[in-house]
Amino acid sequence: MPPLKALHAFDAAIRLNSFSLAAEELNVTPGAVGQQIRKLEDWLGVTLFTRHVRKIEPTADGLAYAARIAPALAQIADASRVLRHQHAHSVRVMLPPSFAAKWFSRRMSRFLIAHPGMELQVGASSEVADFGRDAVDIAVRYFYGDDDSLECTLLHRGQAALYCSPHYRDEIGIHTPADLTRATLLNDTLHAWWPEWLAKFANMDKAAISAIRKIDVDLTSVAIESAIHGQGVVLAVPMLAQEDVEEGKLVPLFPEFVLTLSSGYFLVHPKNGELRGPVKMFRDWLINEARDIAI
């Protein structure tokens, strides 16, 4: 067998095309990386990199060798990670950022209190979790629940309601949906529901809707925070605004006019896989936590 430590250094160097970046990833010095790769070159009897001043370039032999060993190294890492995690008392969950910040964050400690000895690893991303690639056991997704490869449990059916700060409501004088023509609309670009809401509840046509001032925001939690600071009116899922309404930071506008959506927050995990005990506990706990939300 070739020197395995040297293979690790070679893999990092060829992926990052830099001894320095490889050293940073491996938490060693660039000289140590260079020494390991020289050891591997001596063992193989070929040159893997052409060294230039402040630059390295993989040789044809180096590229071919990397292509052959990369799958094996990935398989070793994956098998080790799976085996290690199978016996861990931990749960890795991926959540949409705004769901994590506005609803989950004030509840997550309850899981650890209810299940002492458990470890909870929470990630927040707008990207769809890939259970075959990402280090994640279970996830929450905002979608239609229509993925046949996943077990999908509805946590909250999507709704869209209007909120703003009390001061902003009084300053602008918002009493009817038609008064929104004087407001600034905080438009969550991931959930662009304004045209549908205004057409349905304010009887506005496209021209009237386009004439209203808007600020586009690509994160729901930022749009909600902007509304709290008096920057405009936000159209958001009620569960995400609930805490701020309870604290008096936001007031609901026209609560009788709530848009019902076909999408929602779903708890998801692969269908063709047995959940570990800790993950089952988390799944059951989160479903129970979500029961206080009006679906």
Structure tokens at 121: 């690893």
Residue with tokens 């896989």, as numbered in its chain: 273
In order of 36, 66, 112, the CA distances from 6 in angstroms are 5, 12, 41
The confidence score (pLDDT) of residue 80 equals 76
Structure tokens at 244: 């701020």
Residue with tokens 């946590």, as numbered in its chain: 155
Residues 189-232: tens digit of each pLDDT: 988 999 999 999 999 999 999 999 999 998 999 999 999 999 99
Residue with tokens 């407001």, as numbered in its chain: 183
Please tell me the pTM assigned to this model: 0.68
Residues 165-183: tens digit of each pLDDT: 999 999 999 999 999 999 9
Please tell me whether residue 178 adopts helix, strand or coil conformation.
Answer: helix
Query: Can you list the domains of the chain with their CATH numbers?
Result: 4-86 (1.10.10.10), 89-295 (3.40.190.290)
pLDDT of 53 over the 70 cut: yes
The confidence score (pLDDT) of residue 274 equals 82
pLDDT band at residue 244 using 50, 70 and 90 as cut-offs = very high
Residues 80-118: tens digit of each pLDDT: 776 766 656 889 999 999 999 999 998 999 999 998 888
- Higher pLDDT pick, 85 / 43: 43
**Cβ-count burial 193-206 (b if 16+ within 10 Å, e if not):** bbeebbeebbebee
The confidence score (pLDDT) of residue 282 equals 95
Beta bridge partners of 267: 140, 153
In order of 51, 88, 136, 149, the CA distances from 19 in angstroms are 10, 34, 30, 41
Q: Are 126 and 190 in contact (CB under 8 A)?
A: yes
Listed in sequence order, the residues at least 6 apart from 210 whose beta carbon sits closer than 8 Å to its beta carbon are none
Nearest to 237 by CA among 281, 190, 270: 190
The confidence score (pLDDT) of residue 86 equals 62
d(CA 179, CA 182): 6
pLDDT band at residue 129 using 50, 70 and 90 as cut-offs = confident
Largest CA distance in the chain: 81
The confidence score (pLDDT) of residue 295 equals 41
Q: What are phi and psi of 99, to 5 degrees?
A: -60, -45
The confidence score (pLDDT) of residue 7 equals 93
Half-sphere exposure of 291 (CA within 13 A, CB side): 6
The confidence score (pLDDT) of residue 85 equals 62
The confidence score (pLDDT) of residue 87 equals 59
Q: Average pLDDT, stretch 129-157? A: 88
Q: Are 47 and 61 in contact (CB under 8 A)?
A: yes
The confidence score (pLDDT) of residue 238 equals 93
